[in-house]
Structure 1
Amino acid sequence: MSKILATSTGTELDSAIDPRFGRSAYFALIDQGTGALEAIPNPFLDAASGAGTQAAQWVLEQGVDVLVTGRCGPKAAAVLEGSGVRVIEGASGSVREAVVEVAAEP
């Protein structure tokens, strides 16, 4: 099973998707096998610069397979996609809705 990371405005499955990747308030890590959610405050939220690429490196360290966000900058997307992480942009609604959508895709 895969690990999904969704950018989130809060710590719950019903929190809204944060439209920003590198400056997202939280990273919601969801294990598709167990359904477990771990909401982690974004350690790069207040970075002076390079928040997106730093966050992308962190995502890789977490073993994430799919990133769901509103928008991922080109440098961060290149880091993620170059390492095999599927990046889904344009997400909205709740973290729960986004995860259900990803799980339903072939």
Structure 2
Amino acid sequence: MRSFKCLKCGACCHCFPIFASRSDAKREPRIKEFGKELQPWLATKKWRYQLHPLPFLNGCAFLDENNKCRIYQTRPLNCRNFKPGGFQCIEARKREDDQDLNL
């Protein structure tokens, strides 16, 4: 299996809803401040906060104007587990119409 390095394009942060857990919010308190707490009927044991403002195409609340994560060192586990070059990465880059998509 080929390994890919993250290009830091921010496509994954724009194209998918990003959810964070209570433990993510403990590690990074700004998640509570800037994320949207899910309604009780939407929340699960695992996911408590949504980091995308509506509409989702605006990107993650922690993505800066240069597509850099403002909380990279303390980002949610959901983000840490995202695989560069994986299916979701490729789909996100296609949605963002990445001209350099040479995977």
TM-score range, shorter chain: under 0.3
**Higher strand residue share:** 1
Instruction: Between the two structures, name the one with larger relative contact order (CA 8 Å, sep ≥ 6).
Output: 2
TM-score by length of 1: 0.25
**Higher helix residue share:** 2
TM-score by length of 2: 0.26
